[in-house]
Amino acid sequence: MTQHYTSELALFINGSWRSGEGRETLAVLNPVHGGAIADLPVATPADLEEALAAAGEGFRAWRAVDVDTRAGILRKAASLMRERAETIAVLLTIEQGKPKAEALGEVMGAASFFDFYAEEAKRAYGRVLVRPTGQRAMVLKQPVGPVAVFTPWNFPAYMLAKKLAPALAAGCSVIAKPAEECPASTSAMIRCLADAGVPANVLQMVYGVPDMISRTLIASPVIRKISFTGSTAVGKHLMRLAAEDVKRITMELGGHAPVLVFDDVDLDKTLDMLVAQKFRNAGQVCVAPTRFYVQERIYAAFLEGFAARAGALKVGDGLEAGVQMGPLANPRRPAALASLIGDATAQGGRLLAGGQAYGEGFFFQPTLLADVPDTAAIMNTEPFGPVAVTRPFATLEEAIAGANRVPFGLAAFAFTNDLRTANLAGDALEAGMVGINSFAISVADAPFGGVKQSGFGSEGGSEGLDSYMVTKAIHQA
């Protein structure tokens, strides 16, 4: 397969694409072979100043654009994303590694956010309070202002859409800093928005040294809100920066999703679903099923069925037909996984499938660990890779206690055919999203966000629009 880009990479500031002109560059790697495939220009302090000035002006103009016009532009952007989905998906696979079918699904999912928020923007209602004296109070929703959004490399198109669609719908201007690992797919998404008619100064995209960019943007008085998706460690750092000037923040941070599998399920059907979800995007998913708590009676059969399915997955170059799992996205992941697996087996965990990095790129075998003790690092640190860890349980209470013992709470899942068990698990699992016999928990029309150290604030649904608005009460005699 050919693994190269056809387009030059650039920053997008005040309506123009910027590269060269003495800017330093970062190498973009192809995860299949690990080699450099493109040079990404790094934003200079002057670039950021210009982006900030444009975002300030862009906000003043965009907030005044009527909502039907804004909605029309977002709908047009969604349709351009669908028209160009095949091309964007190929770029995404080349730079990120996921199978092309997954990349295509990601772009389509991204487009759905623009369609949803084109409609939701029309429902940013306020209310009027009428006093017996004739005095009135008007409660208004207004766009918060220019926002800085930071998105990760695991779903470069989808994560960008989850932030840009509600922000633009609300009337905010945006400076986006997508992950440096996957710039071609995110640039292609930005191009759809620009071609759809988002005015030049409303949307800027910069890449560079993440710490320099986030410090500059968060400290600027122009920026009124920060939205970040990524690790809890970086999230805490950005929260400290935002606290300095009391800036609003939405934090979508790491998870460590538990899956409770009760012994009343159809095991074959459930295993097919669990294995497909575990190894989707090579496990680099914040809501990926990770800690599998399996009821004792079916534990042995579960391990056997899971290991067989994991071992049979076709792993390879995501552009090749039939490949079910690609390489990991960057060289940090195989190294981190090897260390977590080594620690788990040293503490008594049994390795039942995979366990090894291989190939010249960033490939890692689909891996299953059984009987991993709670003291193992992998039971407490998000593996963010193709590794499933399992533990048997006897009772619902024991399973819930295991599931809730980590300080994260993004997603949790339960598989059962018993209604009472489903209700009890749904109520007791400490997570922002619970999937009962389902993994369909990230959609445009429902809120998505964590509890505990998985963050706060919602993306998706009416809550997602609300997070880019401020509430004002005007009292009038």
Give the catalytic positions in this structure.
252, 286
The yes or no reply on residue 379 touching ligand NAD (CB under 6 A) is no
Interface with ligand NAD by CB under 6 A: which range of 12-20, 126-134, 249-257, 393-401? 249-257
The yes or no reply on residue 14 touching ligand NAD (CB under 6 A) is no
Q: Of the two residues 179 and 368, which places its CB atom closer to ligand NAD in the complex?
A: 179
Run of H or E residues at 461: helix 461-466
Residue ranges in 279-417 assigned as alpha helix (H):
296-312, 332-346, 396-403
- Long-range contacts formed by 266-273: CB under 8 A, 24+ apart: 266/417, 267/298, 267/301, 267/302, 267/305, 268/305, 270/415, 271/302, 271/305, 271/306, 271/309, 272/309, 273/439
* Distance separating alpha carbons of residues 416 and 165, to the nearest angstrom: 35
Binding mask 167-196 for ligand NAD (x = CB under 6 A): ------------x-----------------
Query: What residue type is assigned to position 179 of the chain?
Result: A
The yes or no reply on residue 150 touching ligand NAD (CB under 6 A) is yes
Is 313:344 a contact under the CB 8 Å cutoff? no
Number of residues assigned to the chain: 477
Phi, psi of 238 (to 5 degrees): -70, -35
Interface with ligand NAD by CB under 6 A: which range of 137-145, 194-202, 210-218, 459-467? 210-218
The yes or no reply on residue 27 touching ligand NAD (CB under 6 A) is no
Structure letter (DSSP) for residue 65: S
The yes or no reply on residue 384 touching ligand NAD (CB under 6 A) is yes
Cα three-residue angle 159-161-167, rounded to 5 degrees: 115
The yes or no reply on residue 153 touching ligand NAD (CB under 6 A) is yes
SS3 letters across 254-306: CCCEEEEECCCCCHHHHHHHHHHHHCHHHHCCCCCEEEEEEEHHHHHHHHHHH
- Number of chain residues interacting with ligand NAD (CB under 6 A): 22
The yes or no reply on residue 254 touching ligand NAD (CB under 6 A) is yes
The residue within the footprint of ligand NAD, chosen from 8, 83, 86, 211 (CB under 6 A), is 211
Cβ at position 167, least distance to ligand NAD in Å:
17
Cβ at position 333, least distance to ligand NAD in Å:
7
The residue within the footprint of ligand NAD, chosen from 30, 173, 204, 229 (CB under 6 A), is 229
Could you tell me if residue 116 is left (phi over 0), alpha (psi between -120 and 50 degrees) or otherwise beta? Answer: alpha
Cβ at position 306, least distance to ligand NAD in Å:
22
The residue within the footprint of ligand NAD, chosen from 1, 27, 129, 233 (CB under 6 A), is 233
Angle between helices 183-196 and 67-83 (to 10 degrees): 130
The yes or no reply on residue 214 touching ligand NAD (CB under 6 A) is yes
Scanning residues 267 to 286, which ones bind ligand NAD (CB under 6 A)? Answer: 286
Contact footprint for ligand NAD (CB under 6 A): 150, 152-154, 179, 210-211, 214, 229-231, 233-234, 237-238, 252-254, 286, 332, 382, 384
